[in-house]
Amino acid sequence: MWRRNVRASKLRERGVTTLFAAFAYLSILTTFGIVLVLIFETINFFRQVPIFDYLFGTTWRPGFARAEFGVLPLIYGTLLTTAIAAAVALPIGLLAAIYLSEYAPTGLRRWLKPALEILAGVPTVVYGYFALTFLTPLLGNVFTGISTFNALSAGLIMGVMIIPTVASVSEDAIYAVPRGLREGGYALGATKREVATRIVVPAALSGIAASFVLGISRAVGETMIVAIAAGNLAQFGGPLESVQTMTAYIVAVSTGETAAGTITYQTIFVVGATLFVMTLILNILSIIFVRRFRETY
């Protein structure tokens, strides 16, 4: 009976291991399939459009009779809205994380952190319409000549959206710094502010950098906010003017009206591949930075 139970236990363990491995390999195969589709359609696109014209062209109008496929306006719009979002979210998120970890009482921290993370659960389409119907008219009272669709309101709302991501991950990294480092600073006569800014934050720098990259990556890949609030005009405009991001273009073209196999259809995949490469480079740089400055306690 004992041998029979051992054999049955081993079979169950093998079954569970196989099931977990199948789920792990399924995610890898899904990613691999997505990359293959992007590569295949991108190659078909570059058979018709020179890669130099795509990467360095300054005009993007694929649907016109004389189509032009310079992706730089889309990259510019993506980087502009992301820069505005980062300027809002990174300092506010980091300061919120420092407060939650170093200054907030335990009772306040227990409910304040979940309340902050509620922002991450708001649908992005709600953020987009909030930017269009509330923030843009509000900015119109400050800036004359602001467009109805503009990069500034989209970037500001995107910054609000990624604050919980930056604050939560940064707070976890700061909270994980050993108590002994703080006590050593206090023993040397440092104030709470000096301990937080000169000891704790540098010790948690790798985790804070990871939160920054995670937040920026989400801003780069954000779709609905920029599609609703930033507009669909691919140009090198200022923050008060309409711009078009890569994700907004994909949304605008990914409709049933675009015939499969056409060059307009293939632009969806080539722009997606460009966005994928940009995000991949950003993550590689973040990994290098984290490994370079990571502290082990």
Q: What is the pLDDT of residues 82-102, one digit of tens each?
A: 999 999 999 999 999 999 888
pLDDT tens profile 118-146: 888 888 899 999 999 999 999 988 888 88
pTM: 0.87
Burial of 114 (0-12, 13-18, 19+ CB in 10 A): exposed
232 assigned to some structural domain: yes
CATH code assigned at 248: 1.10.3720.10
Give CA angle at 143 (137, 147), nearest 5°.
Answer: 60
77 assigned to some structural domain: yes
pLDDT tens profile 165-206: 899 889 888 888 888 888 888 888 888 888 888 888 888 888
What radius of gyration do the chain's Cα atoms show? Answer: 24
- Asked whether residue 13 falls in the same domain as residue 146, the answer is no
Closest CA to 296 of 166, 206, 210: 206
Residue 154 near residue 133, CB atoms below 8 Å = no
Query: Helix (H, G, I), strand (E, B), or coil: what is residue 272?
Result: helix
64 assigned to some structural domain: no
**Partners of 68 in the beta sheet?**
61
- Asked whether residue 37 falls in the same domain as residue 82, the answer is no
- Asked whether residue 209 falls in the same domain as residue 277, the answer is yes
- Asked whether residue 34 falls in the same domain as residue 100, the answer is no
**Partners of 61 in the beta sheet?**
68
| Residue 174, domain extent | 73-293
